[in-house]
């Protein structure tokens, strides 16, 4: 028997593509949430609430060390040239926008899905 006072809710699950935005010049903006001074380093998951990729780095958030570590992690994990990445917003914040010049949205989704697929949770 169904309860009409509490009908089933529609659940919308945001995918990795929600943190990627194409730009007019053909590059892509990747939204990132950074955890500095972590014990391990790498892409740790996808934050559905903020629609951002979570990245942990061992470097401290002092004098741009964490920013350089984020760029290194993203370049390594996504198999991109480090010169194709740049931080466009959030230089002093944990929430950053990273510009990717050498890949399309579709390519980045294909590279990110296996990295965060098991880490998404229910």
Q: What is the pLDDT of residues 78-99, one digit of tens each?
A: 899 999 999 999 899 999 999 9
> What is the per-residue pLDDT for 121?
45
Q: Which residues contact 101 (CB under 8 A, 6 or more apart)?
A: 26, 27, 84, 85, 86
Per the CB < 8 A criterion, the answer to whether 20 and 30 are in contact is: yes
Residue 113 in tokens = 């899905």
Taking the C-alpha atoms of residue 91 and residue 61, their distance in angstroms, rounded to an integer, is: 10
Which comes out higher in pLDDT, residue 7 or 111?
111
The rounded Cα 81 to chain-centroid distance in angstroms is 17
- Rounded to two decimals, the pTM is 0.79
Domains of the chain as residue ranges with CATH = 16-116 (3.30.1200.10)
Q: Report the pLDDT averaged over residues 93-121.
A: 82
Structure tokens given for 23: 């730009």
At 9 the pLDDT is 53
- Whether residue 120 is predicted with pLDDT greater than 50 in this model: the reply is no
pLDDT at 13 over 70: no
Residue 4 has pLDDT above 80, yes or no: no
Residue scoring higher pLDDT (88 or 13) = 88
**Tens-digit pLDDT profile for residues 21-65:** 888 998 999 999 999 988 999 999 888 888 889 999 998 888 889
């Amino acid at each position: 028997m169904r309860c009409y006072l509490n009908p089933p809710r529609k659940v919308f699950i945001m995918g990795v593509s929600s943190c990627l935005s194409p730009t007019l010049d053909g590059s892509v903006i990747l939204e990132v949430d950074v955890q500095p001074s972590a014990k391990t380093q790498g892409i740790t998951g996808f934050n559905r609430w903020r629609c951002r990729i979570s990245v942990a780095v061992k470097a401290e958030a002092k004098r741009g060390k964490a920013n350089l570590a984020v760029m290194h992690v993203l370049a390594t994990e996504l198999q991109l040239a480090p010169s194709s990445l740049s931080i466009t917003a959030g230089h002093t914040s944990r929430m950053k926008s990273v510009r990717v010049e050498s890949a399309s949205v579709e390519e980045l989704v294909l590279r990110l899905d296996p990295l965060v697929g098991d880490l998404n949770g229910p």
